[in-house]
Amino acid sequence: MSVLPLVFTSGWASGINAYAVVLLLGLFGATGVSDDVPGALQRPDVLIAAGVLFLCEAVADKIPYVDTVWDAVHTVVRPVAGGVVGALLAGQSGSLPDLAAGAVGGSAALLSHLVKAGTRMAVNTSPEPASNIVLSLVEDLSVAALIIFALFHPVAAAIIAGTLLALGVTLVLFLVRRIRAFLRTRRARRAGREAATATLSG
């Protein structure tokens, strides 16, 4: 059976939370739940590092504007992680060339990362932090649920991941248009106030 669906799903999930993907896959492999997980992800040092970084992300990802900085730093990390995990999965199964799997995993991770980062930038314009926290929790739970599901039903999980990715891209494009319209309106109002002030002072 081709490992491509699992590679795509893990790539999508890596774009949202790469450390959770590595940690979950490693734990499922180390405990013998899944034979599809490469040994490199099951190493104790990899699991410990992934666990620590996951906890760091769990905190940073829920603080407005801190999450934007964190996302900016991980613009390279997440796609690379998606590519590496994809290549390792392909090497484990032997059903797909490592380079092709790395490209699929890295591309999926990059797209989902851009969706996540774009959505967070839009959410951060809200004055209250609750929406940010809720969104972060939903992302974490979605990644965990889909990775676990993908280990047992890879094709169905890949379809869900692809659907979520398409919806996410559509949402970001919509939010970008709304934000641009908001900024244009704000600039116009500011210009109007400045003109009125200048008129009164003159």
Q: From the first residue on, what is the mean pLDDT of each consecutive set of 10 residues in the chain (202 residues)? A: 89 96 95 88 95 94 86 93 94 79 94 90 70 87 95 94 93 80 73 66 60
Contact predicate 3/36, CB 8 Å? yes
116-121 long-range contacts, Cβ below 8 Å, gap at least 24?
116/15, 116/16, 116/71, 116/168, 117/68, 117/71, 117/72, 117/75, 118/172, 118/175, 118/176, 119/168, 119/171, 119/172, 119/175, 120/67, 120/68, 120/71, 121/68
pTM for the model stands at 0.84
Q: Which residue has the tokens 């940073």?
A: 60
Residue 191 three-state SS: helix
Half-sphere exposure of 79 (CA within 13 A, CB side): 16
Domain ranges of the chain: 4-201
Residue 151: its pLDDT value, please? 92
Cα 70 to chain centroid distance, Å, stands at 12
* Total length of the chain: 202
Q: Which pLDDT score, from 0 to 100, does residue 31 have?
A: 92
Please tell me the predicted confidence (pLDDT) of residue 128.
63
